[in-house]
Amino acid sequence: MDNYPLLNIFWTMLELFLWILWFFLLFKIITDIFRSHDMSGWAKAGWMVLVILLPLIGVLVYVIVRGKSMGQRDVEQARQSEAAFKQYIREAAGPSAGGGGSHVDDLAKLADLKASGAISEEEYQKAKDKLLV
């Protein structure tokens, strides 16, 4: 280890980190170019040529010109993903096949009817047994 001192190890780690960061930013911009619906095909092709042929200048110009809308597209995509996930959860846990609410809601309604005196204990038990079958 005499010919590779500790400071060189830290410098190499910093360079590796910066390369990874650079590629992350480059791929983020390329995916944003294709995801953007407000650009025409020619504009997308122009940005791609600029980013690929002159990467440093192309990435900096893209971030300066379209950075704010890039963030808005990220937020919108996250919102759509969350809404789709919540919809999937609702469908998976969904209402019972008995029509309308879940068993818990139906049992709560029955308990309220029994407490208010609208149905008797016997009617309550029959309806509860029917729900739980």
pLDDT of residue 95: 56
Is pLDDT above 80 for 2?
A: no
Residues 33, 27, 63: CA angle, nearest 5 degrees? 60
Mean pLDDT value across the chain: 86
Amino acid at the residue 53: L
31-41 confidence digits (pLDDT tens): 999 999 899 99
Range scoring the smallest mean pLDDT among 3-12, 98-107, 118-127: 98-107
Q: What is the pTM of this model?
A: 0.58
CA angle in degrees (0–180, nearest 5) for 22-48-28: 40
pLDDT score of 60: 93
